[in-house]
């Protein structure tokens, strides 16, 4: 049913969804860094919102990835990569959700305005970006090395 709404070139919805939480998290980390040097309430509000939207988006990306694995065929050589990509998708999803919850709590308590807390939060956001990079690298390997999800 969902496939009928997809463009001809897209085998499933995952590649269309996945880039939104990646972009949200990247922008959140960038503005989080800026807020360390330019502490403004509106900027902090935006950063917290971006992290939370990124966490919600990561859930959609994860679910669409699970659905995609049921649709696409993975060659035997790519099965280890597919499993590792799925594992990293799990880790990244859980990290994003946990980070967003912690971030919201600290925002609510206004503890995120303390400089050392703000620095730690930025560092943990950057770690999340590293997890995204690892997961994305494995996803790219599935597509470009093993041809997973490519319509022929």
Confidence of residue 8 (pLDDT cuts 50, 70, 90): confident
Lookup: tokens for 14: 């995952």
Confidence of residue 57 (pLDDT cuts 50, 70, 90): very high
CA distance linking residue 89 with residue 99, whole number of Å: 15
Per-residue DSSP letter, 147: -
Non-local (6+) Cβ contacts of 14 within 8 A are: 61, 64, 65, 67, 68, 149
Q: What is the pLDDT of residue 35?
A: 97
Task: Output the pTM of the full model.
Answer: 0.89
Lookup: tokens for 30: 């960038």
Tell me which of 152 and 15 has the higher pLDDT. Answer: 15
Confidence of residue 3 (pLDDT cuts 50, 70, 90): low
Confidence of residue 123 (pLDDT cuts 50, 70, 90): very high
Mean pLDDT of the 6-30 span: 89
Residue 106: which of 92, 118, 124, 93 has the closest Cα?
118
The mean pLDDT of the chain is 93
Continuous H helices in the chain: 14-17, 19-37, 41-71, 79-109, 115-144
Where in the chain are the domains? 12-144
CB atoms within 10 A of CB 38: 9
pLDDT per residue as tens digits for the range 74-117: 999 999 999 999 999 999 999 999 999 999 999 999 999 999 99
């Amino acid at each position: 049913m969902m496939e009928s709404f997809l463009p001809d070139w897209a085998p499933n919805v995952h590649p269309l969804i996945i880039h939104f939480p990646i972009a949200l998290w990247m922008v959140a980390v960038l503005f989080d860094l800026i807020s360390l040097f330019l502490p403004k309430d509106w900027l902090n509000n935006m950063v917290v919102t971006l992290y939370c939207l990124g966490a919600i988006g990561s859930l959609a990306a994860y679910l669409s990835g699970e659905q995609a694995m049921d649709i696409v065929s993975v060659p035997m050589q790519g099965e280890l990569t597919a499993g590792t990509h799925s594992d990293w998708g799990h880790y990244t999803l859980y990290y994003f959700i946990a980070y967003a919850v912690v971030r919201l709590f600290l925002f609510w308590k206004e503890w995120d305005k303390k400089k050392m807390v703000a620095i730690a939060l930025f560092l943990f956001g950057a770690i999340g970006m590293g997890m995204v990079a690892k997961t994305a690298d494995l996803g790219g390997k599935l597509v470009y090395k093993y041809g997973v999800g490519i319509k022929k």
